[in-house]
Structure 1
Amino acid sequence: MPPSGSSRRAGGTAGAPGRTALSREVVLSAALDLVDSEGLDALTMRRLGQRLHRDPMALYRYAANRDALLDGVVELVLAQLEVPAVTDLAGVGGSEVEGPGGWRGQLRATAHAFRRLALSHPHVVPLLVTRPLATPLGLRPLGTLRPLEQLLELLVAAGFDPVDALHVYRIFFGFLHGHVLNELQELVAAPEEDDDVLRLGLHRLPLREFPRVRSLASALADFDGAHELDKGLDVLLDGLDLHLHPRA
């Protein structure tokens, strides 16, 4: 998958500077670039046509409408999600499951890959959460379903019942969606301030009504997305491990 914007430089039409030989990938890459730079509201056929130096009507050959563009952008981003290949997990247990070849390690690597992808395309995150829900499973672009198939294969190979593997997938991505949405909202009100209460604007909260929140100003100001993700994964993966290997 070429990096964002690279497709605009490829396939240029001879004698037509700035114009690009159109394809579905070129159109969707330009749509993703537009969303990345200007946000979701900027994505229209007219604006996309301007970006590609084409009549907007020419784009309908590659996307029937704006909804198709949105689905295509989600597919393009999810195609970049690196799900570790399934290894032979039969009989793997104990601390080994956290290693690179163990299911816990693979889920952790997938979670961090998803976070990096989301932070690279923050305007697309709402689409990653909502667009799949707007389309029946079998009608979604194939690229949006590959992480589902790959993670189901991983979990079944690890010993989960197929139905349980589906539940795990839903729990796992529900947690990831919540985490990245929360991380993207961790804004600082006054970065020039030294005091954490002032930096976060917590001085505006009535002290009697929000004593706990204000007391956690330093912890809130020191938010580390990767560390926070790992803390949540520890809880999630420990619970899944206990489900897979019940203790007496």
Structure 2
Amino acid sequence: MGKNGDAAMSAGPVTRESVLAAALVIIDRDGVDGLSMRRLAEAVGRDPMIIYRHLPNKAAVLDGVAEAVFAELEVDAIDDDWTGQLRSVARSFRALALRHPKVVPLLVTRPLSTPLGSRPRAMVRPLEDILGLLTRAGFAGSDALHVYRALFGFLYGHVLNELQEVVERPEESDEVLRLGLYRLPVTEFPLVRELAPVLADYDGAAELEQGLDILLTGLTAHLAGPVVRRT
């Protein structure tokens, strides 16, 4: 074990993939702030200079971790049921977020800090595959892009909201007390206080499905829709 409780992986060669795997373990446990190049070297069981040969700095490690997690997201670009496939992608993205909650800020922010063409291919692959799925279904390219942006804008917001749901006093039976809403004057926040039972009964999976219903119904109604191809 390293000084900080990180398991040393001194056996076998050090590769970019093994370094990123160790970084993911640290972030999953301690968050982004808990990661340092020194801790990463201890986890891998090697001199820090070996780490720098594969990843020059912490920013590169964070980009690599985001890339590795994004690579787990699969899109079936030839699925004939485009709405069903988008639902599957959404559920898979939520599952990734729940497996790696402390990586979610990286998934949301790291791609935006890099021009699209300079991002790792694993980060761009979902865009390409969803565009392929939708254009194959008959959507115009620009409309397919609108669908992608709307879907991932919703997903980013959903997982951040779900992961940040905090129950202040879980032992309380009164929802206002459980959520700490007693701090909000009822005269100023009557609707929030009134919805305390609903707010306390947050179901991430159900919220995701309801949001997808609204999103996909709205997109289908607003856009021209797929062109039916005749054979």
Pairwise same-fold verdict (TM > 0.5): yes
The alpha carbon displacement at 1:215 in A equals 0.5
Report percent identity of matched pairs: 59
Relative contact order, higher structure (CA 8 A, sep 6+): 2
Q: Please name the residue that 1:3 is paired with.
A: none
Give aligned pairs, total. Answer: 219
Is the Cα contact below 8 Å between 2:77 and 2:132 reproduced in 1?
no
- CA distance, structure 1, for counterparts of residue 224 and residue 206 of structure 2: 25
Mapping 1:117-196, distance limit 5 Å: 117-196=96-175
Q: Please name the residue that 2:181 is paired with.
A: 202
Aligned-residue RMSD, C-alpha = 1.6
Match of 2:205 among 226, 237, 246: 226
Unaligned runs of 5+ in 2: 1-6, 227-231
| TM-score, normalised with respect to structure 2 | 0.90
| TM-score, normalised with respect to structure 1 | 0.84
CA-to-aligned-CA distance 1:51-102 (integer Å, 9 cap, x gap):
1111111101111211111110011001111323423x3xxxxxxxxxxxx1
Matched, 1:51 2:43: yes
Is the Cα contact below 8 Å between 1:84 and 1:109 reproduced in 2?
no
Is the Cα contact below 8 Å between 2:22 and 2:40 reproduced in 1?
yes
Is the Cα contact below 8 Å between 2:138 and 2:225 reproduced in 1?
no
Residue identity matched to 1:64:
P
Is the Cα contact below 8 Å between 2:139 and 2:225 reproduced in 1?
no
Residue identity matched to 2:215:
L
CA-to-aligned-CA distance 1:158-217 (integer Å, 9 cap, x gap):
111112111211111011000101111111000011111111111121110111001001
CA-to-aligned-CA distance 1:8-48 (integer Å, 9 cap, x gap):
89xx6xxxxx5442111101111111100100011111110
Match of 1:214 among 193, 211, 219: 193
- CA distance, structure 2, for counterparts of residue 216 and residue 237 of structure 1: 26
Is the Cα contact below 8 Å between 2:169 and 2:180 reproduced in 1?
yes
- CA distance, structure 2, for counterparts of residue 141 and residue 56 of structure 1: 24
Q: Please name the residue that 1:71 is paired with.
A: 63
Mapping 1:82-121, distance limit 5 Å: 82-87=74-79, 89=80, 102-121=81-100
- CA distance, structure 1, for counterparts of residue 201 and residue 76 of structure 2: 30
Q: Please name the residue that 2:229 is paired with.
A: none
Unaligned runs of 5+ in 1: 1-7, 13-17, 90-101
Matched, 1:22 2:1: no
1:143–1:245 CA distance, 2 compared to 1 (3 A): closer
Q: Could you say what secondary structure the match of 1:111 adopts?
A: helix
Residue identity matched to 1:50:
E
